[in-house]
Amino acid sequence: MIGFGKNRGRCRLLRAIASLIGLAALAVCALAQDTGKAGTQVSKVVGTIQAITGNSLTITSDAGSTVHVAIGDSTRMVRTAPGAKDLKGATPITLSDCQTGDRVLVRGTAAADGQSLSALSVIVIKGTDIAAKQQEEREDWQKRGVGGLVTGLDAAVGTVTISTSTLAGVKPTVIHVSKQTVIRRYSPDSVKFDDATLSSLDQIRVGDQLRARGAKSDENGELAAEEIVFGTFRNIAGLVLSTDPSSQSISVQDLSTKKPVVLKIDTASELRSLPPMVAQRIAVRLKGAPGGASGAASPGQSAAPAAGAVPASTANRGSGRGGGAGDFQQMLNHMPAVTLADLQKGMAVMIVATEGSAQKPPTAVTLLTGVEPILTASPDASKAAMLLSPWNLGGGDAGEGNP
C-alpha cells in the first residue's frame, strides 16, 4: 500500500468490503482520508438498494440486515463500473440517479439503534451495469471456457486433465495452471458462484467437476487457465418417494445404495424433462457401449457423458456452434421445465447434487425426469447419473460471474 499512516489498518478492513462491489482498497482508503480526518467513528455497509424514499435509501446489506441511509447535501455520491480498480473513472451522481437494485457501498455515521446511517459517501454500481457485466462474463465463459470431470492432476507441473465432451465423443483436455490463475471451490451446500471460496491446485481431486476459462487450443487439447472453479458433486439415479412443498425438498430412493436421499430444491436448481426421443437416443448409446456406459471411468472416478448420444441438430440449438460442453447445457436449456409439483411418486429421475453438510441436506443442481429408457439401458444406475455431471458447469445462468 502507498503509505497512509494511521489509515493503513482501516484500509485492510475495507479491502474485503470493497471487493464485493469491484473497488480496489486504494480507492476506498482515499475516501477514508477525506471523510475520517476529524476522528469521527465511521461505519460501512455494502448492499443493494431496496427502496428510495425522499432523501433516504433503504438498503439490504450483504449481511442480511436492513439499513436506512440518510443522504445529505454534503454526501459525496459517485458511480463506478463493476470491477473498477480505482475511482479514476467514477462520475458524480445524485440521489435521483439511483434505482432499486443498484449496488452501493455507504460510509457514514451510525445512529444509536444501529439501523440507520447518515451518509458521508456513497459509491454506486448500477444494476444495469451489473447485468451487462454478468452477460459479458457468461458469454466469455461459453467462448473461452471448457468443463468436465477431473481425470488427472500433476501439482508439480501445474496441470489438470479433465474429460470433456464433444459431439464426436469424449476427449482429454490438459489445463495449465499458473501463479496468476484464480482458483475457486464451490461450497459443499451451495451451487452459487458467489459462495465459491478461494482455493488452490492441491485441493482438486480426481472425480471433481471443473470448469476453466482462458486461452485454449482445440487442436492440442490444452487451455492456459485464467480462472478455475471446481467442486465435488453427487450423481444420483433413483425413484421419487415423496415431495414436500413446504420445505422445498424431495425424497428419492437411490437405486445404487437402495437408501432414501432427501434433497433440497432451491431457485438455482434446474428441473427439466427429457423428451422420449432424446432419452431413447441416449439409451441406444448406452446399450452399445462397453459396460453399459459410454466413456465410463475407472473405479473411483466419475464418468463423462455419452456426448454422441444427442443429435447435433438438438445439441446445437441456440448455441450457434458444434461440439463442446456448452452445447449440452444449451440442449438442456431447451428441454421442458418441470416443477416440484410435477414430480410424482415412483417417477424415475437423474440428479446432480451438491455434497451437502451436517447442517444442510444436498441441494439438487440438475434434475431430469423422463429418464426411464436411460436407466433401463444402463446396468449401473450411478454411471447413468454421471451422464449429467459436466452439464451443471457447462453454462446456463451464470449469475454474478458464474461459469
CATH number at residue 43: 2.40.50.140
> Which of 231, 251, 274 is a domain's end point?
231
d(C-alpha 196, C-alpha 210), whole Å: 13
342-369: average pLDDT: 89
How high is the pLDDT of residue 385? 58
Same domain, 83 and 176: no
* Residues 66 and 60: beta-carbon distance below 8 Å: yes
**Position 339 confidence tier, pLDDT thresholds 50, 70, 90:** very high
Same domain, 242 and 222: no
Integer angstrom CA distances of residue 105 from 14, 22, 94, 309, 380? 10, 10, 15, 49, 52
Q: Name the β-bridge partners of 376.
A: none
275-286: average pLDDT: 82
How high is the pLDDT of residue 11? 39
d(C-alpha 342, C-alpha 203), whole Å: 38
pTM of the predicted model as reported, rounded to 2 decimal places: 0.61
Q: What is the pLDDT of residues 56-70, one digit of tens each?
A: 999 999 888 999 999
Residues 6+ apart with CB under 8 A from 22: 80, 81, 82, 83, 84, 125
318-327: average pLDDT: 38
> Which of 215, 231, 247 is a domain's end point?
231
d(C-alpha 308, C-alpha 165), whole Å: 9
Q: Give residue 213's domain range.
A: 136-231
d(C-alpha 225, C-alpha 332), whole Å: 26
How high is the pLDDT of residue 50? 95
**Position 388 confidence tier, pLDDT thresholds 50, 70, 90:** low
Same domain, 160 and 271: no
Same domain, 257 and 375: yes
Same domain, 237 and 386: yes
Residue 123 carries which DSSP code?
E
* Cell numbers standing for residue 17: 468490503
Please check whether residue 403 lies inside any domain of the structure.
no
> Any idea which of 75-89, 231-245, 253-267, 273-287 has the lowest mean pLDDT?
273-287
* Cell numbers standing for residue 154: 500433476
Q: Is the pLDDT of residue 178 over 80?
A: yes
Q: What is the pLDDT of residues 121-154, one digit of tens each?
A: 999 999 999 889 888 888 888 889 888 889 999 9
Can you tell me whether residue 135 is helix, strand or coil? helix
Amino acid letter, 182: V
Can you tell me whether residue 84 is helix, strand or coil? coil
13-37: average pLDDT: 41
**Residues 185, 144, 174, CA angle at the centre, nearest 5°?**
65
* Cell numbers standing for residue 260: 432414501
How many structural domains comprise the chain? 3
* Cell numbers standing for residue 92: 458524480
Backbone Cα Rg of the chain: 24
How high is the pLDDT of residue 83? 83
How high is the pLDDT of residue 191? 66
